């Protein structure tokens, strides 16, 4: 099989870094390591077992959630609430904070830790009110020139009667449309489950990252197994077939980079996981902040419009 475009791009960047005189020191060798690691991942096809391990780690009970990263990444965190129409959805967290001294707007799904919080936050599955809350804050960011950081962690948008009545599908479409129109830099990172429409609603970003053990998929493995195998128990087979792991997403051009996790997964050392996440996000933002808004928008749309494989 010929090397994919992404492999070539990584190789090219890797080669450039290797040949550079060591001026940048630590930063440079960090990049080198990261690219080498991504390249290694691309070269060795993830096995079915590894894919399933990602599914399990992405859903691990102790995996850091959005607010765990917020407290480690952002200073002066100020949470904002409500969609200004109907409700304040606990499954979606939004607010403002300082990332390395720069004000950013944060949006992200939030799962709960204990039974009570899980119910309140609906396992991180937002209602349309949650997406409207996110849109409101993204538009606020647009007005004030704040970059948007989006942390994606949801099994999917909430499939409820009221959610449908209040326009779940249309709201997910509108949220993407808002992101396609923003004039500020946007970085999204899938930190756990990137579940379907509920995830892409806040992931139409200039740079899309995925943590090493996160998953990003069109359907849950159980849902896919139910429909195609008529048996939710075949989830492992389904996951192996549709490949929701970070390495495959990178290979398909769906994401721009993989954020490394501490050995054993993000839950083993949330502080280290947050440090690694912050590095990648800061690096991505650095590449974007000097671009004019219309140029960001043009490139963002061109990127998403190029996705797909056909003959």
Which of 92/157 has CB closer to other proteins? 157
Instruction: Concatenate the DSSP letters of all residues of 80-97 into one string.
Output: E---SSS---TTEEEEEE
- CB atoms inside a 10 Å sphere around CB 1: 4
**Shortest gap between Cβ of 305 and other proteins (angstroms)?**
5
Beta bridge partners of 80: 94
Which of 96/157 has CB closer to other proteins? 157
Which of 97/211 has CB closer to other proteins? 211
Angle at 235 (CA atoms; ends 229, 241), nearest 5 degrees: 75
- CB atoms inside a 10 Å sphere around CB 64: 25
Which of 108/198 has CB closer to other proteins? 198
Q: At 245, phi and psi to the nearest 5? A: -75, 160
Nearest in space to 67 (alpha carbons), one of 173, 153, 133: 153
Beta-sheet pairing, 102-109 with 257-259 = unpaired
In contact, 126 and 152? CB cutoff 8 Å:
no
The pair of three-digit structure tokens given for residue 94, joined into one six-digit string: 């939004």
Which of 52/158 has CB closer to other proteins? 158
**Shortest gap between Cβ of 181 and other proteins (angstroms)?**
6
The pair of three-digit structure tokens given for residue 291, joined into one six-digit string: 């671009």
Nearest in space to 232 (alpha carbons), one of 241, 223, 245, 240: 223
Q: Which residues bind other proteins (CB under 8 A)?
A: 59, 61, 118, 123, 125, 155-161, 163-170, 172-174, 176-177, 180-181, 195-201, 203-204, 216-220, 222-224, 226-229, 232, 238, 241-244, 248-249, 252, 254, 300-301, 304-305, 307-311
**Shortest gap between Cβ of 225 and other proteins (angstroms)?**
9
Beta bridge partners of 188: 150, 208
Instruction: Concatenate the DSSP letters of all residues of 254-270 into one string.
Output: S-SEEE---TT-GGG-H
Beta-sheet pairing, 75-80 with 92-99 = antiparallel
**Shortest gap between Cβ of 162 and other proteins (angstroms)?**
9
Which of 77/304 has CB closer to other proteins? 304
**Shortest gap between Cβ of 179 and other proteins (angstroms)?**
8
Which of 19/306 has CB closer to other proteins? 306
Which of 36/174 has CB closer to other proteins? 174
- Going 299 to 173 to 78 to 69, the CA torsion angle's sign is negative
**Shortest gap between Cβ of 69 and other proteins (angstroms)?**
20
**Shortest gap between Cβ of 33 and other proteins (angstroms)?**
26
């Amino acid at each position: 099989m010929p090397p994919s475009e992404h492999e070539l791009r990584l190789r090219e960047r890797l080669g450039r870094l290797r040949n550079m005189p060591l001026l940048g020191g630590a930063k440079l060798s960090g990049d080198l390591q990261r690219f080498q690691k991504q390249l290694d991942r691309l070269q060795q096809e993830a096995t079915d077992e590894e894919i399933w391990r990602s599914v399990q780690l992405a859903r691990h009970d102790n995996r850091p959630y959005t607010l765990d990263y917020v407290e480690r990444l952002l200073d002066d965190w100020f949470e904002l609430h409500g969609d200004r129409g109907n409700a304040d959805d606990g499954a979606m967290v939004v607010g403002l904070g300082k990332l390395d001294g720069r004000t950013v707007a944060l949006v992200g799904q939030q799962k709960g830790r204990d039974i009570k919080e899980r119910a309140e936050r609906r396992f991180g599955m937002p209602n349309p009110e949650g997406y409207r809350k996110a849109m409101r804050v993204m538009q606020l960011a647009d007005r004030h020139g704040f970059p948007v950081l989006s942390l994606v962690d949801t099994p999917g948008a909430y499939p409820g009667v009221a959610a449908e009545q209040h326009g779940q599908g249309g709201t997910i479409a509108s949220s993407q449309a808002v992101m396609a129109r923003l004039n500020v830099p946007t970085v999204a990172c899938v930190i756990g489950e990137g579940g379907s429409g509920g995830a892409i609603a806040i992931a139409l970003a200039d740079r899309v990252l995925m943590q090493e053990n996160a998953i990003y998929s069109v359907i849950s493995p159980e849902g896919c197994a139910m429909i195609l195998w008529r048996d939710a128990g075949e989830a492992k087979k389904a996951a192996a077939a549709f490949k929701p792991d970070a390495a495959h997403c990178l290979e398909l051009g769906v994401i721009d980079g993989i954020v490394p996790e501490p050995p054993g997964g993000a839950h083993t050392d949330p502080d280290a996981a947050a440090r690694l996440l912050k590095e990648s996000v800061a690096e991505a933002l650095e590449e974007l902040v000097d671009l004019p808004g219309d140029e960001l928008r043009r490139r963002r749309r061109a990127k998403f419009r190029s996705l797909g494989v056909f003959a």
